[in-house]
Every structure is written in structure tokens, then in C-alpha cells.
Structure 1
């Protein structure tokens, strides 16, 4: 299964390609990463003075290496020596649901297109009692994205 290759810019709503995109997040007053965004690199990039001090090229966050990069926010892994006094990487994530959303947007086929329909009453009714794993299976996301039921 191929990785996603186009996204919607969270600032201008135009399509973003992997070559022209940026993943950004801001740090809140506690230093936690919040408000994850996919934007065009350049005019749509959030301002550092608004707290958006984290940004990385979109191409580094997709595919297998991107998966590794995204997982590094959750755990340093067994090969990294961690100072016991330092917080674990996951303690830097301010809103775990928002992080999982950006993770899915970057890695899960059809998620980006399907998420535009998550508020549709018929989609909500269809998945009302589904477990969280089933809801985000690729076949279900493809069905939602294509408007099939």
C-alpha cells in the first residue's frame, strides 16, 4: 500500500505535495507540542512568533523513514541512551489525539481525503458503534473518501 502523496494545506486549503510541504507544530506555555499542521513551505508556514518553533519538510515525515521519524516522538527506542532525569519524547506531545491525527494524515492511505467527511451525519452513523481500529482501516477510509457506503 502506498503512502499518501497529497494533502490539504491547513492554512490556504489548496493541495500540498510532498515536495512543497511542511509539517509544523507550536509549543505551548509548557513547552508541549500542539496544533500540528501540514502547510505549504513558504507563505503558508506558521510564524515562529506565534509559537510555531517546530517544523520539518513534509518529505521527511512520509514513507518508511517518516514513520520512523513520527515514532521517535513517542519513544527514543532501545538504541538511544536516555538520561533518567529527561522527559521521554512522548511527554513533549501536548494533545495526543492531535498527534495521532497528524500521524494518520501523513501515513495512512485515504485518511486525508476521508477526514473531510468525518462530520457528515451518514458517516458518523455508519461508524457510531465501530471500534477505533475498524474505523480507520484503509478499506473503510477509502469508502468514506469516495462517498461509498
Structure 2
């Protein structure tokens, strides 16, 4: 996978080949909290033979955003605004808080940390081996690359 350019769809588990083809969605609750962060195929990029994978109806006014708004330095700033008390990243309903920080941090890792998205496919094998003897979420970029090399499709089977 191309780091920070491709993701796995949270619905169909197929590769999303570009930021233009990716959609990020979440639930916004009446209290302003956001949960259920997901990356899925944009409706126009849904794999042939499948219906759109978005689980939240965009017409309902629930928050969602094109992936290209959340990548790179400006994307990082938008993500940071989601956890600040004030910020321009809110819709007309005023959603400004993150209700589930663990989910949100996972989204941040997936869209901002090189090789995290690809390496996360191998979490189970990593945890079974205890390869680096630390939580997967704490791995540095070079360690993520080592996880991919060890467990990925090009790993040697000795």
C-alpha cells in the first residue's frame, strides 16, 4: 500500500486507491460528541458490484468529510481542531467534541502516520509474537515498516 495515499475500507476491506476515493464519516451526537469514525469508499469510488459502503446517510446531516481534507499538515490541523473547544471545524449543528478519544486517535494514526494503515493489518500476528514488546499503537514509523516486512505479503516463510 502507498503510505498516506491508500487505506483499507472499513466496510468491504478492499483497498481505497487514493484520497480522492476515500470518505471519512462519524456520528455526531446531540451533546456534540463524535464517535464511530470510519474510512470507507466514496460513493463514486465504490467497487463495482457493491453498493456504497457509507453507513451514515449524508442527507441526514450527519458529519462526514472527503479524505483529502484530513491528510497532510492542513489535515492534521483540522483533526486537532476536532478536539479543541474552539475551532472552525464544525458544521452548522456545532459539533466540536470527540466523545471517543481512542477511536479518534486511531483515525489520526491511519491518516497521518506513514505505514500505520498497512501495518495494522498484521496486529494479531504482531501481538502473538510480541515483536517489539510494546503496544502496537506506540510503534514508531521504522517499527511499522519492520512489522510490514515481517508479516506482510513479501515476508519470507522460513
Q: TM tier, shorter chain?
A: 0.7 to 0.9
Deviation at 1:64?
Answer: 1.0
1:52 CA drift (Å): 8.1
The one of 48, 57, 71 equivalent to 2:57 is 48
Gaps of 5+ in 1: 81-86
1:94 equivalent to 2:102? Answer no
Give 1:48 deviation, angstroms: 2.5
Q: Does 1:12 align with 2:12?
A: yes
TM-score, L = length of structure 1:
0.76
Partner of 2:144: 141
Q: Against the structure 1 CA distance between its residues 5 and 121, is the aligned structure 2 distance closer, same or farther, given a 3 Å change threshold?
A: closer
Gaps of 5+ in 2: 44-51, 88-93
Measure the CA separation in 1 of the matches of 2:146 and 2:116. 10
Deviation at 1:35, TM superposition (A): 1.2
Say what the alpha-carbon RMSD is for the aligned residues: 3.1
Match 2:122 to one of 99, 117, 136: 117
Task: Say if 1:34 and 1:70 are closer, same or farther in 2 by CA, change over 3 A.
Answer: same
TM superposition shift of 1:93: 1.1
Counterpart secondary structure, 1:13:
coil
